[in-house]
Amino acid sequence: MPGKGEVVRNNIRRLRFDAGEMTQEQLGRLAGVKRHTIMAIEAGKYAPSLLLAFRIARAFGKNLEDVFIFDSGCTAQI
């Protein structure tokens, strides 16, 4: 469960665009989920499981951290 201010962002929309304007339906088929789930992940409404996150990253041929970015919500203070 994410802590206060912690959020997982993603680049799925940009990566879909880069991959020849791949549709959510096509990505869903590659990752083994429905279009609605891809929509929810893309909009940040749903945090996917680790397995699904790896499947999505593999669909783009990228590493996990190229697709999903962990934002701790605070900046380091020196």
Partner 1 sequence: MSTPRQFEVCAVGDGSAIFWSQINSAGLGLEPQTGTPAVPKFFTRHIRYVIHYIMFVKGNFMDEFEKRAWWNLGVAVGAVVAFATLWIVTRNPAGSMAAFAVLALSAAPFFRLRQPVSDERDREIDRKSMIAAMNLFWILLVIGAVGMGFALGWDTHVQVPVRAFSDVIWGGWIVILTAKSTASIRMYRAR
Q: Name the residues that contact partner 1, by CB under 8 A.
A: 32-34, 36-37, 40, 45-46, 48-49, 52
Q: d(Cα 73, Cα 30) in Å, to the nearest integer?
A: 31
Residue (43 or 69) nearer to partner 1, CB: 43
> What H or E segment, with its residue span, contains residue 68?
strand 68-71
Report H helices in 1-78.
12-18, 24-31, 35-42, 50-60, 64-67
Residue (19 or 52) nearer to partner 1, CB: 52
Residue (55 or 62) nearer to partner 1, CB: 55
User: What minimum distance in Å lies between the beta carbon of 13 and partner 1?
Assistant: 17
